[in-house]
Amino acid sequence: MRIYRGGVLFMSSLHNLISILEVIIVVLIGVAYITLAERKVMGSMQRRVGPNIIGYFGILQPVIDGVKAAIKETIIPQQSNRFYFLIGPIIVLTLCLIIWAPIPFKLGEQIDENNYGILYILAISSLSVYILLYSGWSSNSKYAFLGSLRSIAQLISYEVSIGIIIMSVLVFSTSGSFNLNSLILQQIFLPNLFPLFPIFLLFFISILAETNRPPFDLPEAESELIAGYIVEYGGMAFAAIYLAEYGFIQAMCSFASLLFWGAPGTLSGTLFTVFLIFAFIWVRSSLPRIRYDQLMGLGWTKILPFSISYLVFLSSLLATLL
């Protein structure tokens, strides 16, 4: 009996390890080709070609970029705090990968199914604030430090709106559970996108700011801070932060798809996620960077009051109807 239990435990652990490796491989490959898609789409929108030399249609360009980053030297600033300078990119890449634990690729198929998946995703995205602080402060560069301060203020501001918007989605859901599978089951006949379209737009704007994407890329403003909190990084350290940025984009688009469309693992769900990623690229190609006071004003004086008002309105309406 003891040998049988040991064998079952070993097979279960092996299955979990394989699932984790599958998710890591899929996410990293997805991130690599999101970068290629961004360069190709932006090239088309700006009437140029984009990468087209390495492989057919430039399809091997991410591989070459990865090899280039791997062979480049990682230079550590002399006056930096070396431990935090090196540990920051490692931790932020780790957070980018473990945020996928409760996200189902199909209904009921994820690494860790629990009743607090939504809270887990919010917590992991919030932890990236500390890593950005490490990266900016440990570089001992005023540009990096200002970039990290901007990023922290931006993340905190828009996380409040994201939390309230998610509360509206949970109030609209009959189960009210933080379990993503329960939320998906509520959308079999009617996706949340249609009755909750106004807050879907607010959620999309908020995740643009949460991931430091244009027009909210103030922490990395080239015209002001050169590259912000990553200005002193190079080689694989820079590649880790770069991968993490696009990994969070992929994760937040998948999360938005689950909240407002459901249907993971289906053609419609995949297309909706791809459309959101395309929208990220589209916004970058179309809109100029806004000022920092406009960024903070948009979050605190427009998105936050509207999301609170919508939550109160939705709660009152459902209480009246039910």
Residue 24 lies in a domain: no
What residues form DSSP beta bridges with 109?
Answer: 106
Report the pLDDT value the prediction gives residue 10, as an integer from 0 to 100.
52
| DSSP classification of residue 76 | P
Per the structure, the count of domains in the chain is: 1
Q: Is residue 164 part of a domain?
A: yes
Angle between helices 82-98 and 2-45 (to 10 degrees): 100
In this structure, what token pair is assigned to residue 155? 């993340």
- Whether residue 102 contacts residue 117, with contact meaning beta carbons closer than 8 Å, is answered with yes
Query: Does residue 261 lie within any of the structural domains?
Result: yes
Instruction: Pull the structure tokens for residue 45.
Output: 């929108």
The pTM of the full predicted model, rounded to 2 decimals, is 0.89
50 part of a folded domain: no
Structural domain contains residue 12: no
pLDDT of 89 reads 84
pLDDT of 227 reads 64
* pLDDT for the residue 219: 67
Do 214 and 287 meet the contact criterion of CB atoms below 8 Å apart? Answer: yes
By residue range, what is the domain housing residue 269?
74-321
Q: What does the alpha-carbon distance between residue 173 and residue 167 come to, in Å, rounded to a whole number?
A: 10
Nearest CA to 219 out of 288, 133, 278 is that of 133
- Structural domain includes residue 171: yes
| Domain membership flag for residue 187 | yes
DSSP per residue over 291-312, as a string? PHHHHHHIIIIIIHHHHHHHHH
pLDDT at 5 (0 to 100) = 53
Q: Is residue 34 part of a domain?
A: no
**Does the bond joining 77 to the residue before it have cis omega, within 30 degrees of 0?**
no
The helix or strand, by DSSP H or E, that contains position 208, with its residue range, turns out to be helix 197-210
Helix (H) or strand (E) holding 217: none
Mean pLDDT by 10 residues, the chain (322 residues): 53 69 85 88 86 82 84 79 82 88 81 82 83 77 79 84 91 79 86 91 91 79 67 81 87 92 86 93 88 87 92 89 76
Name the DSSP class of 170: H
Type of residue at 304? L
Q: What is the DSSP string of 102-141?
A: T--SBTTBSS---TTHHHHHHHHHHHHHHHHHHHHHHTT-
Q: What's the CA angle centered on 62, arms 130 and 124, to 5 degrees?
A: 20
Alpha-carbon distances, residue 243 vs 9, 22, 270 (angstroms): 34, 17, 21
